[in-house]
A and B are shown apart, each in its own frame.
Chain A
Amino acid sequence: MADEPLPLLPHEERLAPRTDLWVAAAFLTFSAAILTLTFRMPTYTDQGGQIYTAPALVPSFYGVVTGLLSLWLAVRAIRADALGPVGTGERRETGNSNARFVLAAALGVVFIVGLIGRMPFWLAATIFVTAFVAAFEWRPGLEPAARARRLGVALAIGLGTGILVTLVFERVFLVRLP
Chain B
Amino acid sequence: MLDSLGQFGGALAHLLSGWGVLNVFWATLLGIVIGALPGLTATMGVALMTTLTFTMPHEQAILVLVCIYVGAIYGGSRSAILLNIPGTPASACSTLDGFPLARQGLAGRAMGISTSGSWLGTLFGILCVAALTPILSEVALKFQSFEFFWISVFGIVIAGTLAGGDPLKGYIAGFLGLFIATIGQEPYYNYQRFAFGSTDLAGGIGLLPALVGCFGVAEVLQAMRGPAVQAVASTIDSVIPRLEDVFKYWRTILRSGAIGTFIGILPGLGEDTAAWSSYAAARRASKEKEKYGKGSIEGLMAAETGESACVPGAIIPVLTLAVPGSAPAAVLMAAMLIHGLNPGPNLMLQTPEFFYQIVAMLLIADMSKLFFGLTLVRPLLWILLVPRERLMPVVFVLCVVGAYAITSRVFDIYVMLAFGFIGFALRELKFPMAPLILGLVLGDLLEKNLTRGLVLSGGSIAPFFTRPVSGALAAITILSILWSIPGFHARVSGLFRRRRAGSGAS
Contacts and interface: CB of A to CB of B under 8 A. Distances in A.
Contacts of B432: 11
B400 A73 contact: no
Contacts of B283: 2
Interface magnitude class on chain A: 35 or more
B39 to A, nearest CB: 12
B394 A129 contact: yes
Interface in A84-112: 94-98, 100-101, 103-105, 107-109, 111-112
B103 to A, nearest CB: 16
Interface string A6-20: 110111111100010
B392 A104 contact: yes
B445 to A, nearest CB: 12
Contact of B455 (A15, A53, A112): A53
Interface string A27-68: 100000010010001101000011111011111001101100
A1 B393 CA distance: 40
A177 interface: yes
B92 interface: yes
Given A9-B92, A51-B459, A58-B451, A109 B417 contact: yes
B175 interface: yes
A121 B242 CA distance: 50
B455 A50 contact: yes
B279 interface: yes
A38 B414 CA distance: 25
Interface string B430-462: 111100000000000011001100110001000
B401 interface: yes
Interface stretch (B109-117, B134-142, B286-294, B315-323): B286-294
Given A11-B427, A65-B175, A173-B55, A161 B397 contact: yes
A4 B429 CA distance: 26
A94 B227 CA distance: 8
A159 interface: no
B34 to A, nearest CB: 16
Contacts of B420: 108
A128 B175 CA distance: 36
A142 interface: no
B410 A178 contact: yes
Nearest to A138: B389
B400 A178 contact: yes
Interface stretch (B3-11, B188-196, B257-265): B188-196
B249 interface: no
Nearest to A94: B227
A112 B414 contact: yes
A49 B188 contact: yes
Contact of B413 (A1, A10, A72, A178): A178
A12 B400 contact: no
Contacts of B431: 11
Interface in B202-232: 217, 220-221, 224-227
Contacts of A136: 224, 389
Interface stretch (B163-171, B353-361, B470-478, B493-501): B163-171
A55 B410 contact: no
Contacts of A132: 389, 392-393, 396
B46 interface: no
Given A9-B272, A117-B410, A175 B455 contact: no
B150 to A, nearest CB: 14
Contact of A55 (B56, B186, B398): B186
Interface in A120-178: 125, 128-129, 132-133, 136-137, 157, 161-162, 165, 169, 173-178
A52 B227 CA distance: 51
B459 A157 contact: no
B55 A174 contact: yes
A111 B397 CA distance: 9
B483 interface: no
A116 interface: yes
Contacts of A7: 96
B182 interface: yes
A49 B189 contact: yes
A6 B92 CA distance: 11
Contact of B396 (A11, A128, A173): A128
Nearest to B51: A175
Contact of A42 (B191, B227, B397): B191
Contact of B429 (A15, A56, A70, A95): A15
A12 B447 CA distance: 30
A25 interface: no
A22 to B, nearest CB: 9
Contacts of A103: 224
Interface of A: 1-2, 4, 6-7, 9-15, 19, 23, 27, 34, 37, 41-42, 44, 49-53, 55-59, 62-63, 65-66, 69-70, 72-73, 76, 94-98, 100-101, 103-105, 107-109, 111-112, 116-117, 125, 128-129, 132-133, 136-137, 157, 161-162, 165, 169, 173-178
Given A2-B283, A44-B189, A104-B224, 12 more contacts: A6-B280, A10-B427, A12-B165, A15-B430, A62-B175, A62-B182, A69-B171, A104-B220, A129-B393, A165-B397, A173-B56, A176-B405
13 contacts: A1-B289, A53-B451, A53-B455, A58-B447, A65-B175, A66-B175, A101-B224, A101-B225, A104-B224, A108-B217, A116-B410, A136-B389, A165-B398
Interface of B: 51-56, 89, 92-93, 96, 164-166, 168-169, 171-172, 175-176, 178-179, 182, 186, 188-189, 191, 193-194, 217, 220-221, 224-227, 272, 276, 279-280, 283, 289-290, 292-294, 387, 389-390, 392-394, 396-398, 400-401, 404-405, 408, 410, 413-414, 417, 420-421, 427, 429-433, 446-447, 450-451, 454-455, 459, 486
The 8 tightest CB contacts between A and B, nearest first, are A95-B227, A2-B289, A52-B454, A132-B393, A101-B225, A136-B389, A104-B224, A1-B293
